[in-house]
Chains A and B, each alone.
Chain A
Amino acid sequence: SAVISQKPSRDICQRGTSLTIQCQVDSQVTMMFWYRQQPGQSLTLIATANQGSEATYESGFVIDKFPISRPNLTFSTLTVSNMSPEDSSIYLCSVDAGQGNTEAFFGQGTRLTVV
């Protein structure tokens, strides 16, 4: 299993500003994933982050808006840039369970409110 810590757990931000969300895993993992969950909705994959390479973004998400860092095998950050109220969501970090295992583990999420 993997234990994932996300910071901050929640924040209220002014429109036009940026927020960086941190994700720390208690073990080394190859791939880390970032999801967004809008109020009352399901999860949507934003991007996949491999250590040492640029993140791969899903359709509808771009690097300028959601830059991601992956400096090592246990840590990643997601920045929500130039925020607007439409960015108010829960952002979740996730990792897979490793070779041959298809279970995924999720952090508690970061609840972002943009005012």
Chain B
Amino acid sequence: LAKTTQPISMDSYEGQEVNITCSHNNIATNDYITWYQQFPSQGPRFIIQGYKTKVTNEVASLFIPADRKSSTLSLPRVSLSDTAVYYCLVGSYSGGGADGLTFGKGTHLIIQP
């Protein structure tokens, strides 16, 4: 599994756009890039997944350059409730689903008023 590197922590303010970048230099051809969000005292929650270019859903956007060696999670107009730990995961998965996930250290995002 490709190793990921993220900033340990980030600070921002309500209403701002937040971009969290993840490096995964050893990403394999079959690997997907997935982001999870974890609030205190809760299990991680899937945010978004992509393979290349750009993916957008109702929560976030994921930007993946052509070489796929990094990715950027973009959270538009954050609020205090977006304060959480964000994990970037890279891996290929069997047809039956995930083979268990390898979590890195994650990015602790703190949103201030």
Contacts and interface: CB of A to CB of B under 8 A. Distances in A.
Interface of A: 4, 30-31, 33, 42-45, 48, 58, 92, 94, 96-109, 111
Contact of B100 (A33, A42, A97, A101): A33
A30 B95 CA distance: 12
A100 B96 CA distance: 6
Contacts of B95: 99-100
A109 B96 contact: no
Contacts of A105: 43, 46
Contacts of A107: 43
Contacts of A102: 32, 34, 49, 93, 97-98
A45 B97 contact: no
Contacts of B98: 31, 33, 96, 102-104
B31 to A, nearest CB: 10
Nearest to B85: A42
Given A44-B103, A102-B32, A104-B46, 7 more contacts: A33-B101, A92-B43, A98-B96, A99-B95, A99-B96, A104-B36, A108-B41
B58 interface: no
B69 interface: no
B101 A43 contact: yes
A43 B87 CA distance: 10
Contacts of B106: 42
Contacts of B44: 43, 104, 106
Given A31-B97, A96-B98, A102-B93, A42 B43 contact: no
Interface string B64-105: 000000000000000000000001000001011111111111
